[in-house]
Amino acid sequence: MNHRILKTIGLRALFFMVAGLLSAGAINADYARAEKIPSPLPPFSSRGLFVPETIWAGEPFLISFGAEGLRSLEVIWNGKRLAFAPQAGEETCPVLLAVSLTEKAASLPLILQARWTDGTTRRYAYRLSVRKRNYPVQRITVDAKYVTPPEEERERIKRERAQLRAVIDRISPARYWSLPMLRPVPGEVTSRYGLRRVINGQERAPHKGVDFDANEGDPVAAMDRGVVALTAEHYYNGKIVIVDHGFGVYSLYLHLSDIAVKQGQFVGRGERIGLIGSTGRSTGPHLHLSFAVWGDMVDGATCMGERLPGYIPGVKEQSSDEKAKRQL
């Protein structure tokens, strides 16, 4: 993301509504009725439109719509609909969107409906090109119970997954985030988002988080302001804190040794929310940071203003050094 652009969007917005999932037919109909936005798009300005022409599977991206007298903006994206408006005195609406890591489409439609204070309504449509990264393979060995869990734990795991899904699928009516967000710990990245995991010789789901090197008991800071949406201890995730930053943006902090906040508590940017640990499926003390946007687990490193190195064509496997083993 362009940092100059990010600095221009430290704006607050008021939430208007969230509609349910939309059918493919409804989205296609909306797209057909909307005014098509030409490519390339005009440069971003405080009164213009910013939409990236290319987006990456597994990564969040920023859009912003600004116009004098704008009353509200409805965004239709990937089967979901969100409507919101600028705060009093502001005329720009920024929002974070994302593409699932498993997205197969070569392009996706984005539909914006703007309403002005004089009653004028216009719809705009743009088709975004989706690109995929070739992520390396990472091989890790853990206790066998975390690859094939005991029968008595499987119902618990099912409940915990449903609990987590219910949290990150909610889109709350206030926006607390600004970009770039903070690093939760100062340690180096030992395992990045998207790695294709082979655990105990078995292929598993890709790594949908970023692992940071840290020592047992080190403090963990909230990436930005928000409301604590969940504190729990899960079979795989260990002790976990989820912070709702508003408008469908969540940060998730896994494998903690101690939780320092309570569910429903408002936390500030950089406030301590817990301590580094190795609870759940973990091979040593570290922080696993996950990042969710509109229900999709995506690469939170981009929202910290970081582009992690290592996406090199032809590289298919990442070796495991001692720090990289302290992860999961």
pLDDT tens digits for range 180-191: 999 999 999 998
Contact 71, 117 (CB under 8 A): yes
Note the pLDDT of residue 27: 53
Note the pLDDT of residue 52: 87
Whether residue 142 sits in one domain with residue 113 = no
Note the pLDDT of residue 201: 85
The answer, yes or no, to whether residue 309 has pLDDT greater than 60, is no
Whether residue 126 sits in one domain with residue 216 = no
Contact 83, 17 (CB under 8 A): yes
Whether residue 120 sits in one domain with residue 33 = yes
- Residue 174: φ, ψ to 5°: -140, 150
pLDDT tens digits for range 109-126: 999 988 888 898 988 898
Whether residue 254 sits in one domain with residue 303 = yes
Nearest to 323 by CA among 140, 170, 161, 159: 140
The residue-averaged pLDDT of 38-62 equals 70
Note the pLDDT of residue 292: 98
Name the domain count of the chain. Answer: 2
Whether residue 146 sits in one domain with residue 56 = no
Whether residue 157 sits in one domain with residue 306 = yes
Note the pLDDT of residue 64: 82
Structural domain range at position 196: 137-325
The answer, yes or no, to whether residue 8 has pLDDT greater than 70, is no
How many angstroms separate the first and last alpha carbons of the chain?
Answer: 27
Whether residue 197 sits in one domain with residue 73 = no
Q: What is the mean pLDDT of the chain?
A: 81
Domain limit, last residue, from 131, 160, 194 = 131
Whether residue 151 sits in one domain with residue 250 = yes
CATH number reported for the structural domain that contains residue 185 in this entry: 2.70.70.10
pLDDT tens digits for range 241-277: 999 999 899 999 999 999 999 999 999 999 999 999 9
CATH number reported for the structural domain that contains residue 100 in this entry: 2.60.40.2470
Note the pLDDT of residue 19: 42
Domain limit, last residue, from 131, 159, 180 = 131
Whether residue 146 sits in one domain with residue 125 = no
Domain limit, last residue, from 84, 100, 131 = 131
Confidence label for 28 from pLDDT (cuts 50, 70 and 90): low
Residue 237's SS3 state is: coil
Nearest to 128 by CA among 145, 111, 113: 111
Whether residue 274 sits in one domain with residue 239 = yes
pLDDT tens digits for range 188-243: 999 899 988 888 888 888 999 999 999 999 999 999 999 999 999 999 999 999 99
